[in-house]
Amino acid sequence: MSLVGLFKAFDAVMALREGAKRFSALSTPPEQTLQTDPAAVQEPAGQLETRLTNVVIAALKEAFDRDHARLELERAQLDEERRRAEATLGLELRRQAADRELARLRLLAGVSMAGWIFSVVMFAAGLASGSTPARAALAAGWMLLLGALGAAFTAQRRVGASMPDSARDLDTGPAGMALWLLITGLAATAVSLLL
């Protein structure tokens, strides 16, 4: 119930009161109104006015209580919507972080595979010298590059397992190790060219 409705109800009650006063004034004979005590006439009117005032106050209190309850309900709904939006945003941020990590790990795996293929082609073409230290460095480079490839695939599996549906942080596991194995493997392959 709005405030305008309350004012209309109050006006209706006041109009009813005025009508009741006029009706009671018309029903009494004129001589009797002159002979009655003014305090006696005012007493029933005061009681009626007090009752009407109490009714209006009760109606206003009820309307304010309803408005307060409605506002509390709206506030609770807004809090719930805000909480859902924050949860959705958190899930989206975790999903984006997982996508970025998967792209980085795929790049590491691709570079590891390309480095390993290049070193095999280099060995097959005879570009690496036939010395034992060069072959040992090349073999170590192969092992390190294959280790980087395996570590990148393992990290991808872990990221996929801890996708954003769960509240856990991303578990990349051996992702850092894959990068260092890649760098060391490429360095060992390059050293084999120099020996």
Give the pLDDT score at 176: 82
- Residues with Cβ within 8 Å of 21's Cβ and at least 6 positions away in sequence, in order, are 45
Least reliable range by pLDDT among 58-72, 153-167, 178-192: 153-167
Give the pLDDT score at 45: 72
Give the pLDDT score at 72: 95
Average of pLDDT values for 135-162?
A: 89
What's the mean pLDDT when you consider all of the chain? 83
Rounded-to-integer distance, Cα 138 and Cα 120, Å: 9
pTM value?
0.58
Specify which of 28-37, 87-96, 104-113, 127-136 reaches the highest per-range mean pLDDT.
Answer: 104-113
Kindly report, residue by residue over 25-37, the tens digit of the pLDDT.
665 555 554 455 5
Domain boundaries of the chain, sorted by first residue:
3-84, 97-194
pLDDT at 120 over 80: yes
Least reliable range by pLDDT among 50-54, 74-78, 79-83: 50-54
> Which of the pair, 148 or 32, is modelled with greater confidence?
148
Average of pLDDT values for 95-112?
A: 91
Place of tokens 């009760």: 58
Q: How far apart are the first and last CA of the chain?
A: 92
pLDDT at 48 over 90: no
Least reliable range by pLDDT among 53-57, 71-75, 171-175, 186-190: 171-175
- Total residue length of the chain: 195
Given a contact cutoff of 8 angstroms between Cβ atoms, the answer to whether 163 and 177 are in contact is no
pLDDT at 95 over 50: yes
Rounded-to-integer distance, Cα 110 and Cα 119, Å: 14
Q: How many CB atoms lie within 10 A of CB 64?
A: 13
pLDDT band, residue 23 (cuts 50/70/90): confident
Give the pLDDT score at 35: 52
Give the pLDDT score at 3: 73
Average of pLDDT values for 172-185?
A: 86
Rounded-to-integer distance, Cα 182 and Cα 158, Å: 19
